[in-house]
Amino acid sequence: MRLDAFLATREDLRLSRARVAGLIKKGAVLLNGAECKPASKVRVGDVVSMVIPPLEEPRVSPEPIPVEIVYEDDDVLVVNKPRGMVTHPGAGVSSGTLVNALLFHASGLSGIGGVTRPGIVHRLDKNTSGLLVV
């Protein structure tokens, strides 16, 4: 099994495959005491060691991005997320997201979802369009 897939499937680590691959490329993961690649094969008896630095939360700023609001009341906002727009900031994406647009258009978003996903209770993939409840 590939090293990145092996580590990403470990429920105790709770790391995405992209984050695991990044750690491997930075030398934070060793396979049998040696630096390795995400595609390195893990076999029975191998020793995998890793240092997981704390993940820094990106700063999320309001941006004047047009967003189609389909419904809005005091508690709920329904928006039409266009295809090609990332729902929330994440690995390698810190601006131009639906969250950046929502922070500009709707002050006081709920704390649900934490700092990078305010008000987001579900998401749609970048290349998927559709309605999102916020």
DSSP assignment of the chain? -BHHHHHHT-TTT---HHHHHHHHHTT-EEETTEE--TTPBP-TT--EEE--PPPPPPP--------EEEEE-SS-EEEEEPTT--SS-BTTB-SSSHHHHHHHH-SS--STTTTTSTT-SS---TT--EEEE-
Q: Are 23 and 29 in contact (CB under 8 A)?
A: yes
Topology of 3-50 in CATH? 3.10.290
Q: Which pLDDT tens digit goes with each residue over 30-83?
A: 999 999 999 999 999 999 999 998 876 667 888 999 999 999 888 888 999 999
The mean pLDDT of 96-121, rounded to a whole number, is 72
Which residue spans of the chain are classified as CATH 3.10.290? 3-50
Which residue spans of the chain are classified as CATH 3.30.2350.10? 57-134
- Among 3.40.630.10, 3.40.30.10, 3.40.50.920, 3.30.2350.10, name the CATH number for the domain at 57-134: 3.30.2350.10
The residues carrying an active-site annotation are 125
Structure token digits, residue 92: 């390698």
How far is Cα 92 from Cα 100, in angstroms, rounded to an integer? 15
The residue behind tokens 């499937």 is: 9
The per-residue pLDDT for 57 is 65
Summary mean pLDDT of the chain: 86
